[in-house]
């Protein structure tokens, strides 16, 4: 039986009186990639931030490896889970190497040589080692995105929460990042990630969770996703085909459906 490493139960969260998350529950097994998809404003990023411990739910709880994330001290939480999203424009001109090493400080690692080796390995994994001495303020959005991912890898938690990890990336780096995620999952790491590109989700994830209006409306394996499921959430008529070479499902949007969303 697959080992469950992440459990979110009946999560409710809101920035005001109206909830953004409405009773969201999900489980993610160890060594798997779970993609969260859905329209803009459906609560995907809020879900990841709540699971990470950055946001505190009004109701419900989150456990990683059996530990309640919102009750864990920061040092322990940092070893359990990391959130990697769009940090926006950096405020300080840290070097890329310094930025990545911040991932080690979060988990209170003690041996500098181990930290430096982990940072180099993480930077090489997403091809930013060549930028290690550059100030992060000098980088493009896509380069910064890979630096933030390297920082998360350097932290080395049980669960990675990646909020649009391929945002700002060109096609080559999209593939590189997703293949890196796949390799790490094969070695036992666990990923819950927001993905806007349904085809990337279907190709690289083992499970797809779809949100709309603050709720999970369906959960499926990639080969279980149908055109009707896409239409119900996105208001789009689409073809769902099997890629001849890859053997994975592929979605081709055709038109907006008559009733929109």
Q: Is residue 202 part of a domain?
A: yes
Measured distance CA(153)–CA(48) in Å, rounded: 17
Q: Is residue 148 part of a domain?
A: no
**161 plus 261 within the same structural domain:** no
**168 plus 243 within the same structural domain:** no
Q: Is residue 138 part of a domain?
A: no
**220 plus 232 within the same structural domain:** no
pTM assigned to the model? 0.93
Number of domains in the chain: 2
Phi-psi region of 88 (alpha: psi -120 to 50; beta: other; left: phi over 0): left
**232 plus 212 within the same structural domain:** no
Residue ranges making up the domain that contains 70: 4-89+156-224
Q: How many CB atoms lie within 10 A of CB 196?
A: 14
Asked if 228 and 194 count as a contact pair (C-beta separation under 8 A), the reply is no
CATH classification at residue 201: 3.40.50.300
Question: Per-residue confidence of the chain (261 residues) as pLDDT tens digits?
Answer: 579 999 999 999 999 999 999 999 999 999 999 999 999 999 999 999 999 999 999 999 999 999 999 999 998 999 999 999 977 677 788 999 999 999 887 655 567 888 999 999 999 999 999 999 999 999 999 999 999 999 999 999 999 999 999 999 999 999 999 999 999 999 999 999 999 999 999 999 999 999 999 999 999 999 999 999 999 999 999 999 999 999 999 999 999 987 655
Q: Is residue 206 part of a domain?
A: yes
Residue from 183, 230, 170 nearest 37 by CA: 230
Q: Is residue 121 part of a domain?
A: no
Q: Is residue 195 part of a domain?
A: yes
């Amino acid at each position: 039986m697959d080992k469950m490493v992440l459990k979110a139960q009946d999560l409710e969260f809101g920035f005001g009186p109206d909830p953004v998350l409405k009773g969201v529950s999900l489980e993610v097994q160890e060594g798997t990639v779970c993609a969260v998809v859905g329209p803009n404003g459906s609560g995907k990023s809020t879900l990841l931030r709540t699971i990470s411990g950055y946001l505190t739910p009004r109701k419900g709880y989150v456990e990683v490896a059996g530990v309640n994330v919102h009750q864990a001290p920061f040092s322990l939480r940092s070893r359990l889970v990391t959130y990697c999203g769009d940090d926006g424009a950096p405020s300080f001109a840290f070097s890329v190497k310094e930025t990545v090493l911040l991932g080690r400080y979060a988990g209170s690692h003690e041996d500098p040589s181990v930290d430096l080796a982990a940072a180099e390995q993480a930077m090489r994994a997403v091809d930013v080692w060549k930028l290690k001495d550059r100030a992060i303020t000098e980088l493009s959005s896509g380069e910064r995105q890979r630096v933030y991912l390297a920082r998360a890898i350097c932290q080395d938690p049980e669960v990675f929460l990646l909020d649009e990890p391929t945002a700002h990336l060109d096609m080559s780096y999209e593939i590189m990042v997703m293949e890196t995620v796949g390799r790490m999952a094969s070695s036992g790491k666990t990923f819950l990630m927001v993905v806007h590109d349904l085809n990337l989700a279907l190709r690289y994830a083992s499970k797809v969770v779809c949100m709309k209006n603050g709720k999970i409306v369906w959960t499926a394996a990639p080969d279980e996703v149908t055109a009707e499921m896409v239409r119900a959430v996105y208001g789009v008529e689409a073809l769902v085909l099997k890629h001849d070479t890859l053997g994975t499902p592929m979605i081709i949007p055709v038109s907006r459906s008559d009733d929109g969303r």
